[in-house]
Amino acid sequence: MLGEMAKLSGRSLVGFREGAGSGNPLYAHDPTTGQQLQPGFIPATAEEVDGAVQLAADAFKTYSRTSGRERGAFLRKIADRLESITGDIVERAAQETALPVARLQGETARTCHQLRLFAQVAEEGSWVNARIDHADPERKPLPKPDIRSLMRPLGPVVVFGASNFPLAFSVAGGDTASALAGGNTVIVKAHAAHPGTSELVGRALQESVRECGMPEGVFSLLFGHGSQIGIALMKHPLVRAGGFTGSRTAGRILMDVAASRPEPIPFYAEMSSTNPVFILPGALRERADNIASGLHASFTLGAGQFCTKPGMVFLERGSESDKFAKKLAELVAGSAHFHLLTGAIHSSYDSAIAKRKANPAVTVLAEKQHSGAAGFCAHSAVFETDTNAFLGSDLEAEIFGPTTLLVRHSSREQILEIARSLEGHLTATIHGTEQDLRDFADLIAILETKVGRLIFNGFPTGVEVTHAMVHGGPYPSTSDGRSTSVGTQAIFRFTRLVCYQGFPDNALPDELKEANPLGIWRMIDGNLRK
């Protein structure tokens, strides 16, 4: 049972106070039984939504001017607090998601690592991309002025929690960490799939704000229906950006709201991806069974509820691909049963599987059904089709759950045609040999235009939190393929460039002063140095 300090109130956190809320409560459900979990979570009122944004805007005036060292200490405090209540977080998250305890423990550790990594970035300070071009009064025909620039935070950022990652992409996840590291204030719209987990994490964050002496309003957490609370937040004139991970339908609605405001704002949405896998001839000959085993583990990981799940696999016709398909079918037939996160996801999965079965151009290669299973139970399935049926169809669409599609091709030209036809995805995977890479160099060139991350002889599930990671891709995988939501480069989403021309040294931000009091890396007259 949850500890005394972890009892849930079911109320929004508006700065330092608890909201009253109004309307019918929202309930999480146990995916293994479908039963309602207590308590109910009362939706925030319109006044509480406005109050959270007003507090965030007021707090931004102070928080945006805190030092990198202060923000780093704040992010570390959040990580420390989360670690101190890991047991309570994992217990509640397991009830709300049916995800394995080991997975949730690992996700908690990842979330804390992410916070500490952004703390390092904030403390070191070079992320601001400071540039200095010195004046040249002797330049002809006109003198050159002194020009300096750096990145500045935007303002209040709205973060939407994700259903499939109750920690790493939710209340204290990557969007929140990157926004806070850059000097922005944050209002989180909690996901209805795991409101109890969200409240536990939100309270840890709220207390960290207090303990670090940050202004009230640096963080708020709101419960409610996404179609009401989310849209109201994105329309609020004081909100300056949004971060979202979820479905294409919901992401597109919010994306359009952000763009249609009287003052449009950036909205970074990760929306859908089917993550193509290309198995090239050499790899298929050398290790068909191993690739089949890795693929099965990847598309069933987390019940197939990863945005990087490999949902379509392209391989050439022939005896080697027959061997691969047979091995994959055996693995699917032996699969355990899975539970999906919510009733809505479960319903969508069943509908998508039924639609695929009804397609005369698609064959069920294997499936594992479990009769009498309770809750949001789902069975794994693998389907098969050919290039002609795939091209021009809707078979590229994401199915959120433990399934994938094999697409057989008969020539090198067909595989390149398929690659050119793809829409934007988060990842593309190539299994091959060094000779395959030479033979299919033009495939790689095409895929560079289609995805944000290319994987060689691996699988796309498992996104490392590093400085170099890119978790993004061309539309419709995200709303803006020039950014990432994982890794330290995510900090740039919630910033903008500001330039200072002709200012005296003592009036400049520390990052741009001549003496470089912060000791950061800067580009000075075209050369990067300290």
User: Averaged over 427-447, what is the pLDDT?
Assistant: 97
Residues 49 and 167 in one domain: yes
Residues 92 and 77 in one domain: yes
* pLDDT for the residue numbered 2: 59
Residues 257 and 161 in one domain: yes
Tokens of 275: 């993550």
- Specify if 440 maps to a domain: yes
User: What is the per-residue pLDDT across 8-55, written as a single tens digit (0 to 9) for each?
Assistant: 999 999 999 999 999 999 999 999 999 999 999 999 999 999 999 999
* pLDDT for the residue numbered 200: 98
User: What is the per-residue pLDDT across 77-108, written as a single tens digit (0 to 9) for each?
Assistant: 999 999 999 999 999 999 999 999 999 999 99
| Residue position matching structure tokens 């939190």 | 465
For 53, 214, 494, the CA distances from 180, given in Å and listed in that order, are: 15, 12, 9
User: What is the per-residue pLDDT across 462-491, written as a single tens digit (0 to 9) for each?
Assistant: 999 999 999 999 999 999 999 999 999 999
User: Do 90 and 101 meet the contact criterion of CB atoms below 8 Å apart?
Assistant: yes
Spell out the SS3 assignment of 510-530: HHHCCCCCCCCCEEECCEEEC
Residues 362 and 445 in one domain: yes
User: What is the per-residue pLDDT across 22-34, written as a single tens digit (0 to 9) for each?
Assistant: 999 999 999 999 9
Residue 371 scores a pLDDT above 90? no
Final residue in a domain of this structure, among 437, 456, 475: 456
d(CA 340, CA 347): 10
- Specify if 403 maps to a domain: yes
Residues 60 and 112 in one domain: yes
Residues 221 and 350 in one domain: no
Considering the chain, what is the average pLDDT of its residues?
96
Residues 375 and 231 in one domain: no
User: Averaged over 379-385, what is the pLDDT?
Assistant: 97
* pLDDT for the residue numbered 6: 61
Q: Give the pLDDT band (50/70/90) at residue 226.
A: confident
- Specify if 102 maps to a domain: yes
- The pTM assigned to this predicted structure is 0.96
User: What is the per-residue pLDDT across 275-305, written as a single tens digit (0 to 9) for each?
Assistant: 999 999 999 999 999 999 999 999 999 999 9
Note if the bond before 476 is cis, omega within 30 degrees.
yes
User: Averaged over 234-245, what is the pLDDT?
Assistant: 98
Compute the Cα dihedral for 140, 142, 146, 150 and give only its sign.
negative
Residues 257 and 281 in one domain: no
d(CA 338, CA 194): 18
Residue 181 scores a pLDDT above 90? yes
* pLDDT for the residue numbered 374: 86
Residue 1 scores a pLDDT above 60? no
* pLDDT for the residue numbered 5: 44
Catalytic residues: 270, 307
Residues 308 and 245 in one domain: no
Residues 51 and 127 in one domain: yes
Give me the CATH number covering residue 317: 3.40.309.10
User: What is the per-residue pLDDT across 265-278, written as a single tens digit (0 to 9) for each?
Assistant: 999 999 999 999 99
Residues 230 and 287 in one domain: no
| Residue position matching structure tokens 């939710």 | 170
Question: Which range of residues forms the domain containing residue 413?
Answer: 276-456
DSSP category for residue 412: H
Query: Which residues are paired to 528 by β-bridges?
Result: 523
312-316 sheet: strands from edge to edge = 363-367, 381-386, 403-409, 312-316, 276-279, 425-431, 451-456
Residues 312 and 169 in one domain: no
Quote the number of domains for the chain: 2
Instruction: Calculate what percentage of the chain has a pLDDT beyond 90.
Output: 96
Crossing angle for the helix pair 68-84 and 195-211, to the nearest 10 degrees: 130
Give me the CATH number covering residue 159: 3.40.605.10
Final residue in a domain of this structure, among 436, 456, 476: 456
